[in-house]
C-alpha cells in the first residue's frame, strides 16, 4: 500500500469518526445548540458511512488515490473535524 493510499484511508476514517461524533453531540432528540433537525443528523450519518466505506474500499482494493481524490478527502476531513470541535465547544459553553 502506498503512502498516499494510507493517507487517503486515514483521512476518510478521520472524517467518518468526526461526522459520527458531531451527530452524536447534537443529541438523540436533535437537542443541538442551536437546534438541529433530524435531517441534519441523518445527513451526518450518511456522510460518515460514505467516508467509512470509501476508506474500507481503499483498504481492501489498495487503490492508489490520485491527487484530486486526496484533496477532496482532506477537505472533508478538515470540515468534519472542525465542525465536531465547534459543536463540542458550543455544548461545553451551553450550561
Cβ-based neighbours of 69, under 8 Å, separated by 6 or more: 8
∠ Cα 75 80 55 (to 5°): 70
77, pLDDT greater than 60: yes
Cβ-based neighbours of 22, under 8 Å, separated by 6 or more: 44, 80, 83, 84, 87
Q: What is the mean pLDDT of residues 8-12?
A: 87
Q: What is the pLDDT of residue 29?
A: 56
Q: What phi and psi, each to the nearest 5 degrees, are found at residue 40?
A: -65, -45
Q: What is the pLDDT of residue 83?
A: 79
38 — pLDDT class (breaks 50, 70, 90): low
- The answer to whether the CB of 12 falls within 8 A of the CB of 77 is yes
pLDDT > 90 fraction of the chain, expressed in percent and rounded: 0
Question: 34 versus 17: which is more confidently predicted?
Answer: 17
Separation between Cα atoms, residue 63 and residue 21, nearest integer Å: 28
Q: What is the pLDDT of residue 69?
A: 78
Question: 38 versus 81: which is more confidently predicted?
Answer: 81
Amino acid at each position: 500500500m502506498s503512502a498516499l493510499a494510507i493517507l487517503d484511508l486515514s483521512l476518510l476514517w478521520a472524517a467518518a469518526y468526526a461526522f459520527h461524533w458531531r451527530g452524536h453531540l447534537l443529541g438523540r432528540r436533535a437537542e443541538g445548540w442551536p437546534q438541529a433537525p433530524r435531517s441534519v443528523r441523518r445527513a451526518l450519518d450518511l456522510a460518515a458511512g460514505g467516508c467509512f466505506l470509501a476508506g474500507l474500499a481503499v483498504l481492501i482494493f489498495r487503490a492508489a488515490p490520485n491527487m484530486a481524490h486526496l484533496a477532496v478527502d482532506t477537505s472533508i476531513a478538515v470540515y468534519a473535524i472542525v465542525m465536531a470541535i465547534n459543536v463540542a465547544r458550543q455544548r461545553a459553553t451551553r450550561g
